[in-house]
Structure 1
Amino acid sequence: MRTSVATVCLSGGLVEKLYACAEAGFDGVEIMDADLIAAYESPEEIRALCARLGLTIEMYQPFRDVEGVDDATFADNLRRAERKFETMARLGTDLILVCSNAGTATIDDDEVAARQLGELADLAATHGIRIAYEALAWGRFVDDYRHAWRIVQRADRPNLGVCLDSFHILSRGHDPAEIEQIDGEKIFFLQLADAPSLDMDVLSWSRHHRLFPGEGSFDLSRFLAHTLRAGYTGPLSLEVFNDTFRQTDVVRTAAHARRSLTWLADRTAEESGCGDRLVLDAQIAHDIDFVEIAGADLDVLDEMLEQLGFRFRGRHQSKPVRLWSAGGARIILNEQSSETVPRLMGFGLQVDDASAAVERALELGAPAVFRRTYAGEQELRAVAAPDGTEVYWNDRPAETSWATEFEGGELSGQTDGVIDHLNVGYRWQDFDEAVLFATSVLSLIPEPSADVPGPRGLVRSQVMRTADGIVRMPMNLAPPTAPVPSRHIAIRCDNVVAVARRARDLGLTFLAVPANYYDDLTARFDLDSGERAELKELNLLYDRDGEGEFIHFYTPTVGGVFLEMVERRGAYEGYGAGNAPVRLAVQK
């Protein structure tokens, strides 16, 4: 698989972008004319730099508004093209992207469009250049890839083919199956982009909201499979216009982009048999092994866990680390971190083959995490998520593996419990990358996102989970001007009312819920006065749907983390979304 990326996807100057692309492992680049024009380096210098970095210049782009015009305008277009072809010769690339006319087209006639594209191709041929014609989703007369292909066929030039762009095709709802009717040798280039489902004009959607594969709602594996079946043999290239990616660290974004292509190509091979598998099979997590909180001043959390019914399991035999558990819910407090305040540092997942899970993560570009292990201790291999959160995998029961390394605690009298979900917050510039990491490395499935009102604006919530719902990870994106939401660990128990009473009697102060919330519960749900009074007395929150009920409460925030105790009754699958605005407001 050859890979490429358009320089428009990345922040910085052209030279900076090229170094980042090479470091990320791309084979080639599409050079945007705006990037070259703004560079101090000559086309010859850029060509030499790409050669030193091992990058091929796959395509120069774009050339706009050529066909469907009057003769005078077309003559000027040929003049413009001549200059572009000269620049391409200096760059050392032989392919140019020509977009369907969206600005100056006045003649809706395929014969005219084919004749003019043919003349452009003839001029390009004198420079040894090929033309990839692309139907823009907002093209004046040509906005469908099938229409573009008919015009290319009519023009009938050996150096004229089509460029297929997943956004332009899928955003318009066009069926990609007909790609297989195109001669594979005439598919000169392929551009890939994902995107969220948005109801807006397609030009704004394209210019600001494209995403890397695996982050949006497009079925890109099906799209790619059709293209490969047609006989396309060129590079898989990314063209992603996104305001966030053009502001974030260029090296990190390039690595993020490269991971998305690996994931997409591998998924396409797995689902359709098109291409070769690039990474090991996904290891689906069947439990959360543990959650680790690291930082200073963890004594407050020791007290809080005891109040919630957790049992102290002891200190690690060789590290300043201690373990608390409630049934299958295991929380590690790590004092050896450099964090100044407690934060959710990492978590472990139970899988069938831990080594395979780690190798897959490394193949997808996740960096390995090193943690010293002494003789006789189990080595849990891990990688770092884009924000630094450490993810560990284990294929042995905790109670007969790493948990035996903790000494001086107790096992008797444990209350019930299991990690229900981990709620993690991200900065605006990290969110899409985190979604891709959860999809590709953790093999979690995204649910439809939702917006939750908060005191500083809407918070976007994206739940990632396994198909069976055993592992759940709601991911929150705060407004750009708001601080990153604190992360929290939700522990599910059988009787949250009893847990709340015990914790209160032991001195735990809950997150205080306004009285107005309980007045509103009467309007939302038909609760009897006794049940409503009990909820109010214990600062419990309540939700209900057609499948069951959800009762929960929150602890105060300690540093950058807090706990949530939940009880699910019946087949309730949600997270109390209607209560989130109250929680966010109270925490502020």
Structure 2
Amino acid sequence: MSQFEGKFDDFGMDTITLAGPLKAKLDAMKAAGFSQVMLLARDLVSHPEGWRAAVQEVKDSGLRVTGFQVLRDFEGLSGHLHDYKVDIAKSMMEMCAALDCRVMLACSSTSTHATGDTDKLVQDLRKLAMLAIPMNIKIAFEALSWGRNVNEFPQAWDLISQADMPNLGLGFDSFHLFATKTPLDELEILAPSKIFLVQLADFMWNEIKTVEERITTARTFRVFPGEGVHSEALAELVLKLHQLGYRGDYSFEVFNDDYQQMPLETVAARARRAALWLGEDVLRRSVPLPNQMRLRQAHA
């Protein structure tokens, strides 16, 4: 039994933050009070007993799968490269569906082989969404801040709007917003019903001077909301999304090499503090709990 009462309904953790085998990660998240988890494809395919055994572990944990990630470099390719990526997408969708997960994340292409032709990008995103329809999967398209043609969320939103598919929406990552310094006012262009996933993270410095530094920071030194230097901006972002009408999931997308060297329960406790800060202090409400119980601060 968890040492904490209740579970978070609004917030979840990403397995990328924790070290160790999948089951240990799931157990640590659940013990910290979370009810959802963001999974990577490699969580499944690296399981020593095979990916279907990993799926069963997730189901046995009782955690809801927030989303499944990540399909890279899909849009803008042609010929055999495009066919190759279609095969990859189908394989990922099979695993996503097996998890009873309804959201798969695709991030904007960084490939030097990808065209910047808007019509082609729209065509490819529409095709990806159509492939997902029979499996009842939504595609959340995210703008990587080092993407070749799409590197800010308004660009991603423009392609999504042109593709005009009911199961194609936006995957939003606060790190990339802060890295590119995209104005928060740009959020006004979004329809909240088409925001399929929001990923939150902070980092420890205000300026990222090169693309290489941006990639390194994103992949090795993010921190939880409330731990970095962008706490005020992150709080403003969450409030803005809430005011727009977003009522979906928030997942902590925290890549951090230091956290990979810490006990799982210690890292999960940090995530818990971030969720409490966002849910109770920033949004000025309790994190929703079963039976409307208010989450209590953990005691030693």
TM-score range, shorter chain: 0.7 to 0.9
Is residue 182 from structure 1 mapped to residue 115 from structure 2 by the alignment?
A: no
Greater radius of gyration (CA): 1
Partner of 2:36: 28
Structure 2 contact 170–196 (Cα < 8 Å) conserved: yes
Is residue 75 from structure 1 mapped to residue 89 from structure 2 by the alignment?
A: no
Residue 115 of structure 1 and its aligned partner are, at CA, apart by: 0.6
Partner of 2:291: none
Give the 3-state SS of the residue equivalent to 2:166 in structure 1. Answer: coil
Residue 41 of structure 1 and its aligned partner are, at CA, apart by: 4.0
Distance 1:44 1:72 in 2: 29
CA-to-partner distance for each residue in 1:403-445, whole Å, 9 max, x for gaps? Answer: xxxxxxxxxxxxxxxxxxxxxxxxxxxxxxxxxxxxxxxxxxx
Partner of 1:211: 223
Q: 1:19 to 1:104 in 2, by over 3 A?
A: farther
Structure 2 contact 15–38 (Cα < 8 Å) conserved: yes
Give the 3-state SS of the residue equivalent to 2:259 in structure 1. Answer: coil
The residue correspondences of 1:414-563 to structure 2 (distance < 5 A) are: none
Partner of 1:363: 296
Partner of 1:84: 92
Instruction: Give the number of the structure with larger relative contact order, counting CA–CA contacts within 8 Å between residues 6 or more apart.
Output: 2
Partner of 1:229: 243
Structure 1 contact 44–91 (Cα < 8 Å) conserved: no
Residue 44 of structure 1 and its aligned partner are, at CA, apart by: 3.8
Structure 2 contact 196–248 (Cα < 8 Å) conserved: yes
Give the 3-state SS of the residue equivalent to 1:221 in structure 2. Answer: helix
Q: Which runs of 4+ in 1 moved over 4 A?
A: none
The one of 146, 150, 155 aligned to 1:147: 155
Distance 2:101 2:90 in 1: 15
CA-to-partner distance for each residue in 1:117-153, whole Å, 9 max, x for gaps? Answer: 1011111112221100000010011000010000000
Is residue 266 from structure 1 mapped to residue 246 from structure 2 by the alignment?
A: no
Partner of 2:260: 246
Distance 2:108 2:287 in 1: 35
Give the 3-state SS of the residue equivalent to 1:363 in structure 2. Answer: coil
Q: 1:105 to 1:177 in 2, by over 3 A?
A: farther
Q: 1:259 to 1:41 in 2, by over 3 A?
A: farther
Give the 3-state SS of the residue equivalent to 1:246 in structure 2. Answer: helix
Structure 1 contact 193–213 (Cα < 8 Å) conserved: yes
Give the 3-state SS of the residue equivalent to 1:126 in structure 2. Answer: helix
Code of the residue aligned with 1:261 in structure 2: it is A
More helix by share: 2
Structure 1 contact 69–104 (Cα < 8 Å) conserved: no
Q: 1:110 to 1:267 in 2, by over 3 A?
A: farther
Code of the residue aligned with 1:215 in structure 2: it is E
Partner of 1:487: none
Code of the residue aligned with 1:30 in structure 2: it is M
Gaps of 5+ in 1: 271-275, 280-359, 369-588
Structure 2 contact 18–260 (Cα < 8 Å) conserved: yes
TM-score (norm 2): 0.88
Code of the residue aligned with 1:363 in structure 2: it is R
Structure 1 contact 105–141 (Cα < 8 Å) conserved: no
Structure 1 contact 145–164 (Cα < 8 Å) conserved: yes
Distance 1:14 1:50 in 2: 8
The residue correspondences of 1:384-403 to structure 2 (distance < 5 A) are: none
Q: What percentage of aligned pairs have identical amino acids?
A: 33
Residue 104 of structure 1 and its aligned partner are, at CA, apart by: 4.3
Structure 2 contact 192–246 (Cα < 8 Å) conserved: yes
Distance 2:122 2:208 in 1: 33
Code of the residue aligned with 2:142 in structure 1: it is E
Counting matched residue pairs gives: 281
Distance 2:189 2:169 in 1: 14
Distance 2:133 2:125 in 1: 12
Give the 3-state SS of the residue equivalent to 2:135 in structure 1. Answer: coil
Partner of 2:146: 138
Structure 1 contact 190–236 (Cα < 8 Å) conserved: yes
Distance 2:155 2:87 in 1: 26
Distance 1:277 1:127 in 2: 34
Residue 278 of structure 1 and its aligned partner are, at CA, apart by: 4.9
Structure 1 contact 65–104 (Cα < 8 Å) conserved: no
Code of the residue aligned with 1:108 in structure 2: it is G
CA-to-partner distance for each residue in 1:516-562, whole Å, 9 max, x for gaps? Answer: xxxxxxxxxxxxxxxxxxxxxxxxxxxxxxxxxxxxxxxxxxxxxxx
